[in-house]
């Protein structure tokens, strides 16, 4: 049986009794009519795929907003582990574009995940609260949306962002500095190709080191590759805008290109 084929234990919206459907919508709360339509469409499909724009644009924040905290924090934990391993092994965190496809997958399965989450909660509350009025009150409290959970997740993401940036810089500089010194010595001794290889190897898009671009520009200039040299000196000046020596080199390079 393929991954997309229906599991025998899988329950669809169309198969729920009227009482359970009503309780699902009470649990959903805000925009319940939207999710009712989405779940109805899923009932006629074998695939669990159904696009959710909110989950696409808000990604993990949507999960916490819908009180699906476990999903958000498990996924964040995976990101943290991958980023830490990447920093320790490759000396840099993975770019955001690397995990972009994962967010698309989450958006594709968000409606099904939310349906299963809501149904599971409704079943548990049905056992806990035999009286329907009490159950409806519990459904409203346990379900719906939560800006508090979403804002808390924003804080967690900010802490993670600062933490991974600090770790990346500490690990990167401890690796980069001796390599940079080695490359500079090779450059001074005329071994330009070897020096350039090291400079390219220690570049990090996430942590800017202006001197790398400056030294690369000097090598390119010495090798007569003026366009590449100008590109590197421009990058350097974007980081060190007041460096007069670099401005002079830039003008010289422009003159050589013209």
Cα–Cα separations (whole angstroms), residue 65 to 52, 53, 60, 197: 14, 14, 9, 47
Which residues contact residue 25 at a Cβ distance below 8 angstroms, ignoring those fewer than 6 apart? Answer: 32, 33, 35, 36
CB 196 within 8 A of CB 215: no
pLDDT tens-digit readout, 178-220: 999 999 999 999 999 999 999 999 998 888 899 999 999 999 9
Global confidence as pTM = 0.77
Identify the H or E element spanning 73: helix 69-90
Q: How much of the chain, in percent, has pLDDT values that exceed 90?
A: 84
**Residue 1: pLDDT over 60:** no
The phi-psi region of residue 49 (left if phi > 0; otherwise alpha if psi is between -120 and 50; otherwise beta) is beta
| 2 band by pLDDT with thresholds 50, 70 and 90 | very low
Q: For 219-233, what is each residue's pLDDT tens digit?
A: 999 999 999 999 999
pLDDT digits (tens, 9 = 90+) for 27-64: 999 999 999 999 999 999 889 999 999 999 999 999 99
Q: In Å, how far from its chain's centre is CA 28?
A: 27
Domains detected in the chain: 13-169 (no CATH), 177-257 (1.25.40.10)
Could you report the per-residue pLDDT of 235-250, keeping only the tens digit for each? 999 999 999 999 999 9
DSSP state at residue 129? -
Provide mean pLDDT across the span 70-96: 89
Q: How many CB atoms lie within 10 A of CB 112?
A: 20
pLDDT band at 6 (very low <50, low <70, confident <90, very high): very low
DSSP character at residue 100: H
User: H helices then E strands: how many in the chain?
Assistant: 12, 0
């Amino acid at each position: 049986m393929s991954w997309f084929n229906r599991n025998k234990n899988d329950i669809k919206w169309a198969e729920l009794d009227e009482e359970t459907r009503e309780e699902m919508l009470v649990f959903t709360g805000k925009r319940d009519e939207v999710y009712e339509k989405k779940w109805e469409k899923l009932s006629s499909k074998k695939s669990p795929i159904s696009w959710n724009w909110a989950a696409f644009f808000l990604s993990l924040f949507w999960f916490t907003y819908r009180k699906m905290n476990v999903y958000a924090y498990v996924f964040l934990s995976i990101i943290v582990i991958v980023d830490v391993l990447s920093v320790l092994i490759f000396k840099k965190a993975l770019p955001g574009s690397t995990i972009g496809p994962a967010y698309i997958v989450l958006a594709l399965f968000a409606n099904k995940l939310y349906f299963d989450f809501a149904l599971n909660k409704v079943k548990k509350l049905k056992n806990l609260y035999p009286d329907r009025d009490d159950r409806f009150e519990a459904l409203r409290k346990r379900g719906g949306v939560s800006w508090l959970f979403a804002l808390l997740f924003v804080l967690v993401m900010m802490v993670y962002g600062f933490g991974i940036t600090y770790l990346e810089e500490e690990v990167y500089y401890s690796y980069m500095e001796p390599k940079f010194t080695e490359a500079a010595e090779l450059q001074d001794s005329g071994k330009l190709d070897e020096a350039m290889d090291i400079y390219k190897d220690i570049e990090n898009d996430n942590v800017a080191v202006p001197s790398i671009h400056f030294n690369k520009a000097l090598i390119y200039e010495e090798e007569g590759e003026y366009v590449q040299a100008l590109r590197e000196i421009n990058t350097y000046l974007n980081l060190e805008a007041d460096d007069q020596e670099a401005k002079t080199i830039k003008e010289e390079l422009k003159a050589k290109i013209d």
